[in-house]
Amino acid sequence: MTDKRQNSDNGDNGVLLETRQKTKKPSLYRVLMLNDDYTPMEFVVLVLQRFFGHNHEMAQQIMLHVHQRGVGVCGVYSYEVAETKAAQVMDFARQNEHPLQLQLEKE
């Protein structure tokens, strides 16, 4: 007969098996984009498409939100991905002599 018992009673004479999964969900971080007076709108739209995978319409919408409200969410990622994307975008902006700034915010 098949023994389907697990954990403390596994039918193996006192040998304990821990089958519970102690995995933690990774914390998520918003990548925020800040408005400024100098970065061209088309450049911001390009960044939102290239680095955050938004289509042109969504990118335009997010850019306008940031332009009007001062800050907006580009996307939500694990810390490593969020940090990498923010750094890549600010590098790309600096290479193009734009002052575009991004920040991370824990969800």
Q: Which residues bind ligand TYC (CB under 6 A)?
A: 33-37, 39-41, 44, 63, 66-67, 100
What is the nearest approach in angstroms of ligand TYC to the Cβ of residue 84? 19
The DSSP call for residue 17 is -
- Output 82 or 100, the one with its CB closest to ligand TYC: 100
- Output 41 or 76, the one with its CB closest to ligand TYC: 41
- Output 31 or 63, the one with its CB closest to ligand TYC: 63
3-state secondary structure of 101: strand
What letters, b where the CB count within 10 A reaches 16 and e where it falls short, cover 49-63?
eebbebeeeebbebb
Helices 79-95 & 41-50 angle (0-180, nearest 10): 140
What is the nearest approach in angstroms of ligand TYC to the Cβ of residue 62? 8
